[in-house]
Structure 1
Amino acid sequence: MMDGETIKEPPQEWGPTAWSHLSAVRDRSLLIQCITNFVSMDLVANTLLSVGASPAMLHSTEEIPDFTPHVHALYVNVGTLSSDWLPAMMAAARLATKLGKPWVLDPVAAGASRFRLNACLELLQLKPTVIRGNASEILALSQASLAPTTGVDSSHESMDAVEAAKCLAQASGGVVAVSGAVDIITQGNRLVGVHNGVPMLQKITATGCAVTALIAAFVAVDPLHAFEATVSAFSVFGIAGEMGMEQAKGPASLRMHLIDSLYGLDQVALLSRINITTALPGHDT
């Protein structure tokens, strides 16, 4: 493959894979433990419910030894991080890793403060199955350094973090996903771009958190193929955003139609809309 060549994956390759993952999530009553931030709890829970999963917003350190062993996957989001919540995140992640359960890390604003960066680096040591962040977050984690921040928003494009994502994937042993105009997913030696979605999703708080929760559910049904499950989750979420945008008048109505579209997404719509590339401009895979 020539450097910089972009090839669209044949629909028969990724379409059936994504549909298989979505169908499996819908068929099973997956219990997903979500230690996530206050801002995202509602959308995260409703996203999981819309695809048939069962969200559990449980973050008490005292409950983790009894509860976490029974979940299908764990989702950890450091958005509203505090010294009270970090021990629970660490305990749940440590237990999930010990029990061989998939868990997903969302390192929100990882480079915004030393406390936040160190917390994310500690969590990385517990081997998350998938790390999903925006470009600035992935760059901060890869470089283990603080960075200028615009809050939780990225000051970089996803393409700026391709090499950092590949390095982070190789160092962590997990899948790394970078959200952006093109969502980048890599396992170090594999790299794809998901082109589904609409810009207005950026005007709805916690959509990044919601797609990370969806990744946790998809990985729960196919933990041995976390890369494919992550790609599928991004595609499904992006397609639901496109379908929702066709009926929306703005961010508020898009939020509503996004959830409805996740709930009603069928095989025909998924197969006709999925848009994935296996090579990216300037990056040979």
Structure 2
Amino acid sequence: MTTARFDDSAVRDGYAEIARRGPFVYGLTNYIAANLSANVLLAAGAGPAIGAASDWTTTFPAGANAVWINTAALMSSDEDSLRRVARTAHEAGTPWVLDPVAVGAGAAEYDAFVRGLLEFRPAVIRGNASELIALAGGAATGKGVETTVDSSDAVSTAGELAARTGSVVAVSGPVDYISDGSRVVEVPGGDVRLTRVTGAGCALGALTAAAVFATGDALQGAVVSHAAYAEAAERAGARTTGTGSFGVALVDELSLLAESA
């Protein structure tokens, strides 16, 4: 296992590449997280579009540089829309990120739908420990959208899921763990208030999609996005006191990292 931080030159360069390349990143996410997800992408230098309007679900995944799907998008989009985006991205060769939010929380029909999206081979699957353990077929332990186990408890599961699906798997928590099935990278840092700002994890999926395109590599892209997020959260936490100001400062710090990288 290796450790990655934002100060690593490869991570800094990868994050700077997002702003240099300015990717168009299309996503389906839930309406609660959409605003923060868009602002996180803009802060890093990417251009977002979000939603299943008209023929966007077939046009944008084929023309975008990267795509992300947060499966809680089913709050406002139908299953066919999510499948269409995943299928179109896969067929067009557009790298896409799957965030299986709330898998394992007891909604069996929903869980089955999310597992079905794996056939479209996401470049990265990212979520909390409970979600990824459940997605891999382990015991369902999620409490709504929250995890009940530590990220370290899902390291082996992440490796097994990555080997089985061909996707890079990223586990978020006090320490993030990212695996391609043979290698594991740990990303320390962050701030506990990431768990107390609505949509913070969802927005990380969007940033990961941008970083995968920018670096041209799913593992490195996931490492870059998680390390940048951890660094920005630490900096935001050091200068704020409450969760509201922390959320704004997180976006500020992501933009400042892009300017200084």
1:98 Cα shift? 0.9
Whether the aligned pair in 2 keeps the contact of 1:61 and 1:87 (CA below 8 Å) is no
Aligned to 2:225: 233
| CA 50–250 in structure 1, closer or farther in 2 if over 3 Å, else same | same
- 2:165 is aligned with 1:172: yes
- 2:181 is aligned with 1:188: yes
Number of aligned residue pairs: 260
One-letter amino acid of the counterpart of residue 101, structure 1: T
SS at match of 1:177: strand
Aligned to 1:115: 109
TM-score w.r.t. the length of structure 2 is 0.93
| CA 228–151 in structure 1, closer or farther in 2 if over 3 Å, else same | same
- 2:128 is aligned with 1:134: yes
Aligned to 1:197: 190
Residues in 2 aligned to 1:65 and 1:74: alpha-carbon distance in whole angstroms = 12
1:226 Cα shift? 1.0
Aligned to 2:246: 254
Aligned to 1:281: none
| CA 50–159 in structure 1, closer or farther in 2 if over 3 Å, else same | same
Residues in 1 aligned to 2:235 and 2:15: alpha-carbon distance in whole angstroms = 16
Percent identity of equivalent pairs: 34
Whether the aligned pair in 1 keeps the contact of 2:141 and 2:147 (CA below 8 Å) is no
Alignment of 1:148-163 (within 5 A): 148-163=141-156
1:221 Cα shift? 1.4
Aligned to 1:35: 28
Question: Quick one: which of 59, 66, 70 aligns to 1:73?
Answer: 66
Off by >3 Å, runs of 4+ in structure 1: 6-9
TM-score w.r.t. the length of structure 1 is 0.86
1:197 Cα shift? 0.5
Larger Rg: 1
Gaps of 5+ in 1: 1-5, 271-285
Query: How far does the alpha carbon of each residue in 1:102-121 deviate from its partner, in whole angstroms, 9 at most, with x for none?
Result: 00000001112112111111
1:62 Cα shift? 3.1
Q: Which has the higher helix share?
A: 2
1:29 Cα shift? 2.3
Whether the aligned pair in 1 keeps the contact of 2:29 and 2:51 (CA below 8 Å) is no
Residues in 2 aligned to 1:23 and 1:141: alpha-carbon distance in whole angstroms = 32
1:267 Cα shift? 8.3
1:161 Cα shift? 0.9
| CA 182–49 in structure 1, closer or farther in 2 if over 3 Å, else same | same
SS at match of 1:265: helix
1:85 Cα shift? 2.1
SS at match of 2:186: strand
